[in-house]
């Protein structure tokens, strides 16, 4: 190697090592600060940016979704490390069915494989993670439904952590579904109109036995909710980051938690 090129390569490597060391130092300090304060009990995530990440790095949309899946595995670990008891992620919306047929098909196959994998995942059983799916299951292929049943059945007895995947999910549809159920109960004489309140309504949602999210974070730079947990987020703290989901780092997650910790929650008071 020519002396000039060799010197440039050495300088580049030194810069990389320094940057990596600085990053690790900052991450450790931030992790320590976060652990010293109260963490949110329930974190909900709008995982956005898989396809844009893939395009930026010359990958196919499917490869982008695979990287997004891998990132979700990391985030689950981060939640358990911090003691976040409930993680709910927006995996696939009802509107996503309108995407390219091949992309939807590959996602359905990915869901099927992952639910079977979760059912056998040693980490899931060791940590007592209950896996649940929130959404309109009748829209999903039978093969995915069977995999969901296996994963939910294998983890039904756990209560240390809750891992909820909103799949074929739309919040407006969830609310309409709840309204129809309540109307039927009133019609059948099992519920009085005067007894309908916020708690009653919440009991008919997919999240009936779960606490509302404390923190909702969205990646990719978009600052909207996109039909996700509209009823449940009434008093949630919102956090937006411009990082694409597959590129979401632990330090980004810690920053979101730290931002939550620095806020004063008033719950409308």
Q: What is the pLDDT of residues 159-201, one digit of tens each?
A: 999 999 999 999 999 999 999 999 999 999 999 999 999 999 9
pLDDT band per the 50, 70, 90 thresholds, residue 266: confident
Whole-model pTM? 0.91
C-alpha 232/C-alpha 86 separation (Å) is 14
C-alpha 165/C-alpha 115 separation (Å) is 10
Domain boundaries of the chain, sorted by first residue: 40-261
Give the CATH architecture of domain 40-261. 3-Layer(aba) Sandwich (3.40)
| Residue 195 appears among annotated catalytic residues | no
Dihedral sign for Cα 97, 103, 109, 113, please: negative
Which pLDDT score, from 0 to 100, does residue 269 have?
67
H or E segment and range at residue 90:
strand 86-93
Residue 74 has which token pair? 């990391």
The values of phi and psi at residue 84, to 5°, are: -70, 115
Average pLDDT score, the chain: 94
Residue 48 has which token pair? 């956005």
Closest CA to 77 of 141, 107, 37, 121: 121
Sequential DSSP letters for 38-107: PPPSEEEEE---HHHHHHHTT--HHHHHHHHHHHHHHHHHHHHHHT--EEEEEEEEGGGGGS-HHHHHHH
* Contact call for residues 202 and 211 (beta carbons, < 8 A): no
| Residue 188 appears among annotated catalytic residues | no
Given 96, 127, 227, 252, the catalytic residue: 96
Tokens 């649940």 locate to 132
Q: What is the pLDDT of residues 121-169, one digit of tens each?
A: 999 999 999 999 999 999 999 999 999 999 999 999 999 999 999 999 9
Given 37, 48, 142, 212, the catalytic residue: 48
């Amino acid at each position: 190697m020519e002396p000039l090129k060799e010197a440039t390569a050495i300088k580049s490597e030194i810069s990389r090592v320094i940057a990596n060391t600085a990053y690790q130092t900052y991450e450790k300090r931030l992790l320590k600060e976060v652990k010293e304060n109260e963490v949110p009990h329930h974190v909900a995530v709008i995982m956005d940016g898989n396809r844009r990440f893939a395009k930026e790095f010359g990958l196919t949309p499917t490869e982008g979704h695979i990287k997004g899946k891998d990132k979700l595995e990391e985030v689950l670990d981060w939640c358990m490390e911090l003691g976040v008891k409930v993680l709910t992620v927006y995996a696939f919306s009802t509107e996503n069915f309108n995407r390219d047929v091949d992309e939807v098909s590959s996602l359905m196959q990915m869901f099927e494989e992952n639910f079977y994998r979760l059912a056998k995942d040693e980490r899931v059983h060791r940590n007592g993670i209950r896996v649940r799916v929130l959404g309109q299951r009748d829209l999903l292929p039978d093969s995915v439904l069977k995999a969901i049943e296996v994963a939910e059945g294998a983890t039904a007895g756990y209560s240390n952590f809750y891992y909820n995947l909103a799949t074929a999910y739309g919040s407006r549809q969830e609310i309409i579904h709840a309204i129809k159920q309540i109307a039927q109960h009133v019609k059948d004489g099992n519920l009085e109109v005067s007894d309908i309140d916020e708690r009653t309504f919440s009991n008919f949602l997919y999240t009936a036995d779960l606490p509302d999210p404390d923190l909702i974070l969205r990646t990719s730079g978009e600052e909207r909710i996109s039909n996700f947990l509209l009823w449940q987020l009434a008093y949630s703290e919102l956090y937006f980051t411009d990082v694409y989901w597959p590129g979401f780092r632990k330090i980004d997650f810690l920053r979101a938690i730290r931002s939550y910790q620095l806020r004063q929650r008033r719950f409308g008071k």
